Chain A
Amino acid sequence: MAKILMKGNEAIALAAIKGGIDAFYGYPITPQNEIPEYLSKHMLDLGRVFLQSESEVSAINMVYGAAGAGKRVMTSSSSPGIALKQEGISYIAAAELPCVIVSVMRGGPGLGSIQPSQGDYYQATRGGGNGDYQLIVYAPESIQETIDIMKDSFNIADYYRNPVLVLVDGLIGQMMESVDFDKPVKERELPEKDWATNGTINHPGRRNVANSLHLDPYGLEQHNIHLQKKYNLIKENETAFELVNMKDAEYVIVAYGTMARICRSAIEMLNEKGIKVGMIRPITLWPFPEAAFDEISEKAKGILCCELSMGQMIDDVLIANNGRHKVGFFGRSGGVLPDPEEIVDAIVNFKDKVVK
């Protein structure tokens, strides 16, 4: 297939189809509506399952059911809707079921706005659900990268038996880019889903149960230790990031998604001014690419964390930096996108204070 021009949300939907999605359950919310709209038509044409649920709460529990039954299942939503899904996400992670969740962030808190934002970094990486669980969180910066991640996402979820969250902002959902759906996906040897609750007729002599209840404290602790081992394996294998112009960089920007794109322009402008600025662009937000911070030159004058929020990823930047360099913060929120000049200015007048 040649390159085609496609809107972000529709590309997410088509990439999910290419990635082998069996079922989609979701509830409408701007700015992600084109995902269910596209799937409502194409999934049925393909003889697969699409169902508009009565709420996000219901959608995520439909996902829980179908994931437990061994199918490749996805839901998508935006900030307040993802908030409603958190209980179900915690259950799914606890029961170690694979699924894909797409979150197209909008401005918050509360009903907020429908403009692009990165205000849900905490929601994605810390979770609003209860307990010690992690999602594998991807934060692509372009539609092409979103497609590549979406196509791989069901494999990753199946491989680790863990929910994968693809976190984009409304801009990526709404813009159009020229994209290629034929890039090869990483080969993974996937374990058989011999745990699926699809009736003992399919696995005689063994009852399969999807469950997150462990009333015995020692039993639950063992389960948590088991989960933690898996999370450590994910950290080892799946942490992804891009380094831009890092050699001898005087300043290093840390940014993801749409903000990283804006920062790319700012970095060019700064280089023209003779200020060497590099960038660490986390592609996975969890696991956070801590190792990338070892690539920062000892002589660097500072790190600037740039976000479309009042400062959330900054926490992980401070942890990863571990006191080695001065750290500053630049953020716009509420759906406001900064001009690259604002970031240029923040570097030129670098302040090693994290004033949010």
Chain B
Amino acid sequence: MRVKYEKSKGLTDTPLTYCPGCTHGIIHKLVAESLVELDILDKAIAIASVGCSVFSYQFFNCDAQQAPHGRACAEATGIKRVLPDNIVFTYQGDGDLASIGIAETIHAANRGENITVIFVNNAIYGMTGGQMAPTSLIGQKTTTSQDGRDQAHHGNPIKISEMFATIDGVAYLERVSVHDPKHYIKAKKAIKKAFRYQKEKRGFTMVELISTCPVNWGVKPVDAMKWVASDMIPVFPLGVFKDKGATNE
């Protein structure tokens, strides 16, 4: 018998808590596979943030810490400075990273902390029940922007990758999506590259992943994937925003 598909050894046996059609699970898998393939799982320390991924400390099959809302990059810094040879990564939502934790994230990037940030942008506060996020799109209806996000009242969706591209300490930064197989393969490559850069001690690396929240967007899972392509990617264009010198795979 040939095994065609297997759960990554980078994930524990704990069942994921994500809703059907949520791409948090896919992103977990890509992170886990990357850690295993680069042979760094046993050196890895995951920082779970506050959001739907709060339980990721139970899912990644490595050591982990659970950070207060927004503070993941500070916690990661604290660890990495005392354990420079370990692999430290944060897994953060858009509310966590782009709103309450933007200062911690910017300064970790600016110091060139040799950590990897997995930034899951689903344009909403998933865990708390669908409130407006700093990344919510203009016109997007959320429980706290019931008539749709209004630029004059709420400002525009914040573009984290564009902002962070201006920071010198960033070694690698790419925005990817996981809404179809083609993009999924690219996303995997980006995550793996970010971790490889960390292994090579190149500095701060971040992968922004456009992710779905069918439950709080109020759409079917399939339509959520379509909405990523039709509505989110035009506002959050995919691509490499920073790469301080490509190396051989």
- Report the Cα distance A197→B82, complex, angstroms: 11
- Report the Cα distance A54→B103, complex, angstroms: 8
Interface residues of B in 72-87 (CB under 8 A from A): 74-83, 86-87
List 10 interface pairs A-B (beta carbons < 8 Å), by A numbering: A68-B65, A71-B82, A95-B65, A197-B63, A198-B83, A199-B44, A199-B62, A207-B12, A207-B64, A211-B57
Q: Is the CB of A55 within 8 A of B68?
A: no
* Shortest CB distance A68–B (Å): 5
- Report the Cα distance A209→B67, complex, angstroms: 11
**Chain A residues, CB < 8 A from B226:** none
Whether B41 is near chain A, meaning CB under 8 Å from some CB there, is: yes
- Report the Cα distance A269→B74, complex, angstroms: 52
Q: Kindly name the residue among A64, A197, A201 whose own CB sees the greatest number of chain B CB atoms within 10 A.
A: A197
Given A22-B82, A58-B74, A210-B66, A201 contacting B42 (CB threshold 8 A):
yes
Interface residues of B in 36-92 (CB under 8 A from A): 41-45, 47, 54-55, 57-58, 61-68, 71, 74-83, 86-87
Q: Is the CB of B71 within 8 A of A197?
A: no
Whether B186 is near chain A, meaning CB under 8 Å from some CB there, is: no
Interface of B with A (CB < 8 Å)?
12, 41-45, 47, 54-55, 57-58, 61-68, 71, 74-83, 86-87, 103-104, 106-107
8 nearest CB pairs, A to B:
A65-B78, A62-B78, A61-B74, A65-B75, A61-B71, A54-B107, A201-B42, A197-B63
- Report the Cα distance A179→B44, complex, angstroms: 44
- Report the Cα distance A219→B75, complex, angstroms: 25
- Give me 17 other A-B pairs in contact (C-beta within 8 A), A65-B78, A95-B66, A208-B64 excluded: A23-B82, A53-B107, A57-B74, A58-B77, A64-B75, A65-B47, A69-B78, A69-B82, A69-B86, A198-B86, A199-B43, A207-B61, A209-B64, A209-B66, A211-B64, A211-B65, A213-B54
Chain A residue at minimum C-beta to C-beta distance from B76: A65
Overall SS of chain A's interface: mixed
Interface residues on A, range: 35 or more
* Shortest CB distance A96–B (Å): 13
**Chain B residues, CB < 8 A from A71:** 82
Overall SS of chain B's interface: helix
Chain A residue at minimum C-beta to C-beta distance from B103: A54
**Chain A residues, CB < 8 A from B62:** 199-200, 207
Q: Is the CB of A49 within 8 A of B81?
A: yes
Q: Is the CB of B104 within 8 A of A61?
A: yes
**Chain B residues, CB < 8 A from A66:** 78-79, 81-82
| A21-64 interface bits toward B, Cβ cutoff 8 Å, 1 = contact, 0 = none | 01101000000000000000000000001010111011101111
Interface residues of A in 193-239 (CB under 8 A from B): 197-201, 204, 207-213
Interface residues of A in 167-203 (CB under 8 A from B): 197-201
Q: Is the CB of B77 within 8 A of A62?
A: yes
Q: Is the CB of A199 within 8 A of B45?
A: yes
- Report the Cα distance A211→B77, complex, angstroms: 17
Q: Is the CB of B103 within 8 A of A200?
A: no
| A63-100 interface bits toward B, Cβ cutoff 8 Å, 1 = contact, 0 = none | 11111110101000000000000011001000100000
Interface of A with B (CB < 8 Å)?
22-23, 25, 49, 51, 53-55, 57-59, 61-69, 71, 73, 87-88, 91, 95, 197-201, 204, 207-213
* Shortest CB distance B177–A (Å): 29
Given A197-B45, A198-B83, A201-B42, A61 contacting B67 (CB threshold 8 A):
yes
- Report the Cα distance A67→B65, complex, angstroms: 11
Given A66-B79, A73-B82, A201 contacting B67 (CB threshold 8 A):
no
**Chain A residues, CB < 8 A from B47:** 65
**Chain B residues, CB < 8 A from A200:** 41-42, 62-63
- Report the Cα distance A207→B42, complex, angstroms: 9
In the complex, the number of residue pairs spanning A and B with C-beta atoms less than 8 Å apart equals 129
Chain A residue at minimum C-beta to C-beta distance from B57: A209
**Chain A residues, CB < 8 A from B63:** 197-200, 207-209
- Report the Cα distance A262→B42, complex, angstroms: 56
* Shortest CB distance A161–B (Å): 15
**Chain A residues, CB < 8 A from B82:** 22-23, 49, 66, 69, 71, 73
- Report the Cα distance A61→B50, complex, angstroms: 14
Chain A residue at minimum C-beta to C-beta distance from B111: A51
* Shortest CB distance A64–B (Å): 5
- Report the Cα distance A66→B82, complex, angstroms: 6
- Report the Cα distance A25→B108, complex, angstroms: 13
Q: Kindly name the residue among B81, B104, B107 whose own CB sees the greatest number of chain A CB atoms within 10 A.
A: B81
Q: Is the CB of A199 within 8 A of B42?
A: yes
**Chain B residues, CB < 8 A from A59:** 74
**Chain B residues, CB < 8 A from A53:** 74, 77, 107
Given A62-B75, A66-B82, A197 contacting B65 (CB threshold 8 A):
yes
- Report the Cα distance A49→B77, complex, angstroms: 11
Q: Kindly name the residue among B57, B68, B75 whose own CB sees the greatest number of chain A CB atoms within 10 A.
A: B75
Among the listed B44, B71, B87, which residue makes an inter-chain contact with A58, where contact means beta carbons less than 8 Å apart?
B71
**Chain A residues, CB < 8 A from B103:** 54-55, 57-58
Chain A residue at minimum C-beta to C-beta distance from B80: A65
* Shortest CB distance B68–A (Å): 5
Q: Kindly name the residue among B61, B76, B79 whose own CB sees the greatest number of chain A CB atoms within 10 A.
A: B79
Q: Is the CB of A58 within 8 A of B104?
A: yes
Q: Is the CB of A23 within 8 A of B78?
A: yes
**Chain A residues, CB < 8 A from B44:** 199
Q: Kindly name the residue among B43, B45, B103, B106 whose own CB sees the greatest number of chain A CB atoms within 10 A.
A: B45
* Shortest CB distance B49–A (Å): 11
- Report the Cα distance A208→B46, complex, angstroms: 11
